[in-house]
Amino acid sequence: MNLLLEVFNFIGQNGPYILLIILTIMILNYKSVTLYGIIFIMCAINSQINYVLKGFFKEPRPNVNQFKAPKLSNHSYGMPSGHSQSSSFFASMIVKLFKSGIPYLNLIKFGSVLLVIITGLQRIFYKFHTIKQVLAGWSIGTFNAWLGLNLLSKYMIV
């Protein structure tokens, strides 16, 4: 059971980074370097949107000391969850950008969505975020990916 919690925690802490690596490999192998550059800028914008929204809402995180959780700065706000927003952003990119021609594509898409869910659940389990903060992060990340890709498709074949 301890190993299962360690894996759960690792995925929850690193879910966005795992998804970014998967997205990067897929874009560089199956799309273009130009698209990768544009997506990289969109990732930075998504991150800055999270920073601005945390400052706007100034909603505190729940009590992180209730569980033995990995160290977390208590000086940051919780709304929206940055891990949830980033993971849903990257997974949405993977699901929307790639339609066919990639081995195990459906498995990759399913795994990406599963990583998003595990990341959000880990944030709630360790009281880093409330359910509302995770749901907001998922919604904002998904919307940012949708908006970015729709704007991009007007100017470039995606």
Residue 114, pLDDT > 70, answer yes
Q: Is 68 helix (H, G, I), strand (E, B) or coil?
A: coil
**What pLDDT is recorded for position 71?**
52
The structural domains of the chain, with segments of one domain joined by +, span 2-155
pLDDT band at 157 (very low <50, low <70, confident <90, very high): low
Token pair 């944030």 is found at: 123
- As a whole-number percent, the residues of the chain with pLDDT over 90 amount to 39
Distance CA 84, CA 15 (A): 9
User: Is the Cα torsion angle 4, 6, 8, 10 positive or negative in sign?
Assistant: negative
Alpha helices in the chain (DSSP H): 2-30, 33-57, 82-97, 105-125, 131-155
Mean pLDDT over residues 5-30, rounded?
84
Terminal Cα distance for the chain, rounded: 43
Q: Band of the pLDDT at 151, cuts 50, 70, 90?
A: confident
Specify whether the CB–CB gap between 9 and 122 falls below 8 A. Answer: yes
Rg (CA), the chain: 16
Give the pLDDT confidence of 24-73 residue by residue, as tens digits: 888 888 777 788 888 888 989 999 999 999 989 988 888 755 555 555 55
Determine if the peptide bond prior to 60 is cis (ω within 30°): no
Choice among 4-18, 44-58, 126-140 with the minimum mean pLDDT: 4-18
CB-based burial label for 117 (10 Å; 0-12, 13-18, 19+): middle
- Residue 1 binned pLDDT confidence (cut-offs 50, 70, 90): low
